[in-house]
Structure 1
Amino acid sequence: MMDSIGPFRGRVHRGTQQIGGTCIELEADDARILLDLGLPLDADEISDDLLPEVSGLRIADPTLSAIVISHGHGDHWGLLPLCKLKVPLAMGAATARIMSAAAPFVPNSFVPKVAFELADRRILQIGPFAITPYLVDHSAYDAYALLIEAGGKRLFYSADIRSHGRKGALFERLINSPPRDVDTMLMEGSSLGRLDEQAQFPTEAEIEARLVENFKAPGFVMISASAQNIDRMVSIYRACKRTGRTLLLDLYAMEILRATGNSNLPNVGWPNLSVYVPEYQRRQIAKNKRFDLLEPYKSARIYREHMTDTADKTVMLFRPAMTRDVEAANLWGGARAIWSQWDGYLKEGPGEKLKSDLEGRRILLDVIHTSGHASIADLKRLAKAISPDKLIPIHTFEGDSFSNFFSNVTRRNDGEWWDV
């Protein structure tokens, strides 16, 4: 390792020039931690050459005390499967459960063994690092900003944050009761370059209202959204209930909702909710002999023939692998589609193919979505509340423009060590 520049220092391995793939290394008193270990968004597949040059990820190094995962999006944890060594993990309990629940259904899955549990404003001591998690509003459930204290210095990492979701009160709580005397703040800037300074993203309540208007029209509705965007699952369910429709969720979505441990979220026995097991999931279950996954949902299951009969009053959480099911149930006639994810995904890969397939069937695709990230106006409120001595841009393509909006901006390069 390099000679230390100070008692508490850090470097960003990936994130000063891009969104996603975040990884931050912190060092104090000959101990180190990582904040996130994400898969870059532009990576075609997971591969060992994407691992940052951090001692302890490839060859054992006891000075690497922990990897702290801020939330459950793959661009913040997606390289964990490459770590063959048993580096202790810290993350929220619900995040760990959701990652475990997703594992039977998604590629590049990872079932974490958590050594340290993050909980809202409960100080966690890992070696010389005192870590205070702040539960925040984000499109990932159980997401945290992190205050790290060591060597008499304080670093605040915003991770991914917003104010316009269903947990917007958490953002206001942070603004009204922020950590004080912060020396360095690492703040995300995903919205820079995408949004005007005074503009705001739609709130999740506004998304729900738009879904209600869409659902009022007759016809079978397919909606493409991330099952791990719990706010969106709630919005879709509430819109179904308000319009007398039934929401069809697959096993994956139901397992994610159950993994949150939140009894206030849609579950078996709730009205306007049924469980449909698509063909590809039935095959996965048979292949892996995971029939236990079916058991909790028997009472809520709906089968293809009944789905056909009730299509006009149904909304299906849809992904391209379900195309055969829609075909077999003869549901294309009069169907409508909604894209409720980042529209950038429609420009390439499976999203682009789905859009093309729907156009070929003359099916309208409506985009109803809001960002998982804070507007510039809200980032300005956050930076003012924290008032750090140094503000370092991260998780952004627009780091060079930060100084147009924020004070005390200090640009850093990937791989560059700096004093906190």
Structure 2
Amino acid sequence: MRVRIHRGTREIGGTCVELEHDGARLLLDLGLPLDGDPDETSRPPAIDGLTGGGDLLALVLSHGHRDHVGLAHLAGPGLPVAMGEATLRILRAAATFVPDSYVPTNTVTFAKGQTLTFSPFAVTPILIDHSAYDAYALLVEAGGQRLLYSGDLRAHGRKAALFEGLVRDPPRGIDTLLLEGSSLGRLVDDRTFPSEAEIEDRFVGLFGDTAGMALVAASAQNIDRVGSLYRACKRTGRMLVLDLYAAEVLAATGNPRIPQSEWPGIAVFVPQHQRVRIKRTGRFDLIERHGANRIYTEQLAAMAPRAALLFRHSLLTDVDRAGCLTGARAIWSQWAGYLDQPRGQVLAGDLAARGIPLSRAHTSGHASIPDLKRLAAAIAPRQLVPVHTFMPERFPALFGPNVTIREDGQWWDTAA
């Protein structure tokens, strides 16, 4: 089995891996670079047969983050696109609200441990802990060789038991491990990231110091974080307020243990821009589906001192107009680097102009170095190849002599 990493040997984001065996090919992920534009025609990797019908058999997506799926629209209707069942539902839910969303039409869905066959490739998804819901490592077998692609994973989320299970009982006889290294350069080598339970405690402390509404800027698709937020609200007597987009994403998980719009302690507020979109698209079924706990502007204003809003910049006008910002605090619960980008700077400026303090409560979606080392030692591959990292040169010192650093666009053999 031959491998070519199109992007990711020296970059976080835009991941794409091409496999070839016996005249057939398979793609793992087709992501958008972190600084990429999905319409930029010069950035996509050069891959033959994306429209389907040739020796390229399928595109397999490890999870739904844009840096892994953001160029999937380049796959034509003839190419099957495989992903987790919940991932597809979440992509469809998001597409109703996000203008530049793309949902593949020729799809194959899978669940953990369910092997897919794209002859001569057998692909087995392994459910992992990550900030994206329904995320998988991918075990690919062909020609008697075994490649394990870690995808993006961590050991400190609400699903940490999945990581520990992988360490206790890893797949054996791995010829090549493609191991993500996002945390290299972002964290001291012997340190670990805060757990989601610690983020929950951080929310509790911040809520206690906030007289007004808590504006929690977190991704609605970070299901672990929404769970931490809900638990913190219960502990502090606050109401968790969702918009219609967040309510739909949570419903799309299909998991009854995850907070839902009809649960006690949750309210649904439909902001102006979503009301306009619902009217334009005729999707009144969404309002009906999440109407049990719907609140309106005057109710939002009344509950502001005991509410926590899952917040995005587009909601600021609504809560400002509703008079909800007296004593408010914003809490940034995403990657800090987004605040340095133009959109983040505009948000920070708008909050400052309103006298709203900005605090932080976040942990990474990626494994710390000690956890990566535990995983690599447990799997013990013949060769370990860095991917999804800006610092491949640091891998040999951290992971040992079986590290082989590859370059983007270079073909190589899993058994080499």
Q: TM-score range by the shorter chain?
A: over 0.9
Cα separation, 2, equivalents of 1:113 and 1:379: 35
Determine if contact 2:240/2:308 at 8 Å carries over to the other structure: yes
3-state SS of 2:229 partner: helix
Equivalent in the alignment of 2:313: 320
3-state SS of 2:291 partner: helix
User: What is the CA distance between 1:355 and its match in structure 2?
Assistant: 0.8
Any idea what the Cα deviations from partners look like across 1:385-418, whole Å, max 9, x if unmatched? 1111111100000011111201211011000000
The more displaced of 359-368 and 19-28 is 359-368
**Residue identity matched to 1:230:** I
Equivalent in the alignment of 1:28: 21
User: What is the CA distance between 1:50 and its match in structure 2?
Assistant: 2.5
Determine if contact 2:77/2:105 at 8 Å carries over to the other structure: no
**Residue identity matched to 2:408:** D
Equivalent in the alignment of 2:260: 267
User: What is the CA distance between 1:290 and its match in structure 2?
Assistant: 1.6
Equivalent in the alignment of 1:412: 406
Cα separation, 2, equivalents of 1:138 and 1:160: 6
**Residue identity matched to 2:338:** Y
Cα separation, 2, equivalents of 1:317 and 1:268: 13
Determine if contact 1:57/1:85 at 8 Å carries over to the other structure: no
User: What is the CA distance between 1:265 and its match in structure 2?
Assistant: 1.1
3-state SS of 1:222 partner: strand
Q: 1:49 to 1:84 in 2, by over 3 A?
A: farther
Cα separation, 2, equivalents of 1:253 and 1:246: 15
User: What is the CA distance between 1:80 and its match in structure 2?
Assistant: 1.2
Equivalent in the alignment of 1:124: 116
Cα separation, 2, equivalents of 1:337 and 1:64: 47
Equivalent in the alignment of 1:4: none
Determine if contact 1:66/1:89 at 8 Å carries over to the other structure: yes
3-state SS of 1:310 partner: helix
1:244 aligns with 2:237: yes
Equivalent in the alignment of 2:94: 102
**Residue identity matched to 1:417:** W
Determine if contact 1:199/1:377 at 8 Å carries over to the other structure: yes
User: What is the CA distance between 1:61 and its match in structure 2?
Assistant: 4.6
Equivalent in the alignment of 1:54: 47
3-state SS of 1:411 partner: coil
Equivalent in the alignment of 1:139: 131
The more displaced of 374-383 and 111-120 is 111-120
* 4+ residue segments displaced more than 4 Å: none
1:332 aligns with 2:325: yes
Write the mapping of 1:161-240 to structure 2, written as runs, cut at 5 A.
Answer: 161-217=153-209, 218-240=211-233
Any idea what the Cα deviations from partners look like across 1:284-335, whole Å, max 9, x if unmatched? 1112222121111112100000111111001111111111101111122211
User: What is the CA distance between 1:363 and its match in structure 2?
Assistant: 1.3
3-state SS of 1:227 partner: coil
Determine if contact 1:191/1:374 at 8 Å carries over to the other structure: yes
TM-score (norm: length of structure 2): 0.97
**Residue identity matched to 2:90:** I
User: What is the CA distance between 1:111 and its match in structure 2?
Assistant: 2.0
Cα separation, 2, equivalents of 1:45 and 1:155: 29
Any idea what the Cα deviations from partners look like across 1:312-370, whole Å, max 9, x if unmatched? 00111111111110111112221110000000000012211111111222211011000
User: What is the CA distance between 1:30 and its match in structure 2?
Assistant: 0.9
Q: What's the Cα RMSD here?
A: 1.2
TM-score (norm: length of structure 1): 0.96
Cα separation, 2, equivalents of 1:160 and 1:301: 35
Q: State the percentage of identical aligned residues.
A: 56
Determine if contact 1:137/1:143 at 8 Å carries over to the other structure: yes
Determine if contact 1:99/1:112 at 8 Å carries over to the other structure: no
Any idea what the Cα deviations from partners look like across 1:63-106, whole Å, max 9, x if unmatched? 01000000010110010123334210111000000000100111
Cα separation, 2, equivalents of 1:393 and 1:353: 35
Cα separation, 1, equivalents of 2:104 and 2:234: 35
Give 1:306's match in structure 2, choosing from 290, 294, 299.
299
Determine if contact 1:10/1:27 at 8 Å carries over to the other structure: yes
The more displaced of 103-112 and 332-341 is 103-112
Cα separation, 2, equivalents of 1:311 and 1:76: 37
3-state SS of 1:369 partner: coil
User: What is the CA distance between 1:172 and its match in structure 2?
Assistant: 0.4
Cα separation, 2, equivalents of 1:135 and 1:114: 23
**Residue identity matched to 1:343:** A
Any idea what the Cα deviations from partners look like across 1:198-237, whole Å, max 9, x if unmatched? 1010000000011011112321111100000000000001
Write the mapping of 1:249-398 to structure 2, written as runs, cut at 5 A.
Answer: 249-398=242-391
Q: 1:415 to 1:345 in 2, by over 3 A?
A: same
Cα separation, 2, equivalents of 1:130 and 1:70: 15
User: What is the CA distance between 1:45 and its match in structure 2?
Assistant: 4.4
Q: How many residues align?
A: 412
Give 1:68's match in structure 2, choosing from 38, 60, 68.
60
Determine if contact 1:81/1:109 at 8 Å carries over to the other structure: no
Cα separation, 2, equivalents of 1:37 and 1:287: 32
Cα separation, 2, equivalents of 1:260 and 1:305: 31
